[in-house]
Structure 1
Amino acid sequence: MTKPLIEVKHLKKYYETGHGKNHVLKAVDDVSFHVNKGEIFGIVGESGCGKSTMGKSLIRLIEPTAGEVWLEGEDIAQLPAKQMRQKRQDMQIVFQDPFASLNPRMKVFNIIEEPLINFNTGTKQSRKERVYEVAKQVGLTEKQLERYPHEFSGGQRQRIGIARALVSNPKLIIADEPVSALDVSIQSQVLNIMKDLNERFDLTFIFISHDLNVVHHFCDRIGVMYLGKLVEVADKHELFTNPKHPYTQALLSALPKSHPNESKQRTILHGDVPSPTNPPSGCTFHTRCPNVMAICKTHSPQLQMHEPEHQVSCLLYEEEVVVHK
C-alpha cells in the first residue's frame, strides 16, 4: 500500500467571535484525509464552507487550532517557526487572485526568483537558470520575465503564480481556486499546465474549487465539504456516478445536462447554509437534508468507509441507525 505524502488528522480552525470562549466560528471542524504522492486531491463545496481556510491551515499560513498534519512522516503542525519556514520549500500555494498575490513593483523574473533567495538556494547563475526553466514550463518567454504584473492578462498572471510556486521544487502544491477568476477558455490552459506538471514531475496537488466540472476534469479523488466538515470522499468516477451523501447528490443534480435528451431529476435544497458560529445540533446538514430522520437532529455522523475507497459521513449509512430508523 502506498504511504501518503500528506496525512491530515482531526484538523480544526476556530475563531473567537468576541462574545466569549463559548462562542466560536468553526471554520474547519475535525477534518481528516490523506493524499498520496503524485495524486490530485480535490476539495469542493459551497462558498464559506471552509475550503480555503483548510488549505492555508495545512501549510500554516493560518495557524490551526488543533490537529496533526503529517508530511512524509513529520508532523509539521508542531514544528517551531524556524523549522517550519524551511519546510515550506516542500509546500507551496497558488492563490485565487493572481494579481493580488503578485508584487506590482517587482519584475516577473524577481517574483519567480524570490523563493530561491528566501531559502538561500543556489548561486545567482543557477537561480537565473532555474527561473528560465520554470518559466518555459508554464509557457512564459524570457522577454516576458522583464515585465511587471500589470502588463499581463489574468491567465498569464496565474502562470507567473504557478511558476513561483514551482521554482523551489516542492513536493506539494495547494491550488486555492486558481482558475475561478479566469475566462473558461483560459481556465483550460492553466489546468492543462498543472496537469502536465503533475504527470511530468509526479507533483502532488490539493486543488480547492467550487466548480464540480473543473474538479471532475482535473482531480483523481474528491472530498466534499459542508460547514467546515468533510461529508464524502471518493474517487472522482465513483463520486460522480454513485454519490452517497444527500448534499453531494444535490450538488451533482445542479450540474447542467450533458445532452438535451438526458433525463435528470433536480434535488432542491431549501434554506440557507447555517452559520458556522451557531451550527445545528447533530448532523449539521439536517436542516436542509431531504432525507432527514429524527436521529439526525441529535446524533453527529462520522466520516466512515462505506465501500472500498468511498467514505461518507451520513447516518443513513450507519448500520445501527438504519436498523432502528
Structure 2
Amino acid sequence: MTGLPVLDDAYIPELPNYYKGKVRDNYDLADGGRVIIATDRLSAFDRILTAIPYKGRVLTQTARHWFELTADICPNHVISYPHPNVVIGKRLEILPVEIVVRGYLAGTTSTSILTKYKAGERTMYGVTLPDGMRDNERLPEAIITPTTKAFDGGHDEPLSGAEILSQKLLTEEQWNTVSSYALKLFACGQERAAAQGLILADTKYEFGVDAEGTIILADEIHTPDSSRYWIAETYQAALESGKRPASFDKDFIRAWVAERCDPYKDEIPAIPAELVEQASKVYIDAFEMITGKSFDRETGGVTLADIRESLKHLF
C-alpha cells in the first residue's frame, strides 16, 4: 500500500439497482437518475490490476471541467455533483456507436488510423487520406472514425457513416447530430488544450438518448483516459524524428505487469507502491495541465463513508 487514500469499492447497499463496472460503480434511481461513482480501480487486460490514489477524482473533476465548458455546444447528462468522485446523471439509452474524433495520424490499436495507414490502407471510416503522411502528422482536418460499441466484452469494429445508416445503428438525423456535436466538442477541446500547452490529438465520445429522444453527451469528456494528449512543445521535434510526442504516460503499470506474466491468464504480481504513487502523480499532473486548476485532494474526503454521507439524501 502507498499510504495514500484509495477508493477501490463503492458499494452502498441502501442505493437501488447496483451495477459494478470496471472502474465505476452505478446505481439507477427511481426518478430516472443514475448515480455514477468513479473508483480508483485501474483496469487493463480485462481485469483490475490495482487502485491508483485520486484517479477516480481526477477523471470525475476533469470531465466536470469540460462538461461545464461545453454545455452551450451539446447537452450532457449531468444533474449534480454531490461529491468530487460522484456525478448524478440522467439515465440514458446509450447509442450503439462510439464516436472517435481524430486530428492526427496516430494510435497503436487495430482500429487506429495510423495502424491502418502503415498497413497500406488509405480509405478508412469513409475517409481517404493522402499518401506520404508521417507518423503523428496533423490531418488536413479532424475526422470522425466511429466504431461499434462492444457492450459484452467484444471488440470494437470500424464503421463508416454509410455503414452506420445501412445497418440502422443510428437514424440519419441521429448520425448528423452526433457528428456535428462531436466535431464542435473536439474543436473546443483542441483550442482550450492549446492554451494550456497541450495538443488534443484524438478523443472518444459516448452519446445516449433520453426518454424524449434527445441526444445527450454521456460518460466522460476529454479526460486523460478517453483522450490522447501530447505536450505541445515536444511535438515538432518528435514529428521530425519519427518518435511519439511526450504525453501523460499512464501505461507503465500495464507494461510492468505484461513484462512479468501473461496478464490474461496468470495471477497478477503485487505492484510496487512507488509505481502506484507515480501513476497517481501522473493523473494529478494531467488534471492540472488540462484544466489549469490546482487539484483538490481534501474537499469531500476519499473514503466510502464520505461518499455515502454525500448521498444520504437518496436513501
TM-score range, shorter chain: under 0.3
> Computing the radius of gyration over CA atoms, which structure comes out larger, 1 or 2?
1
TM-score (structure 1 length as normaliser): 0.27
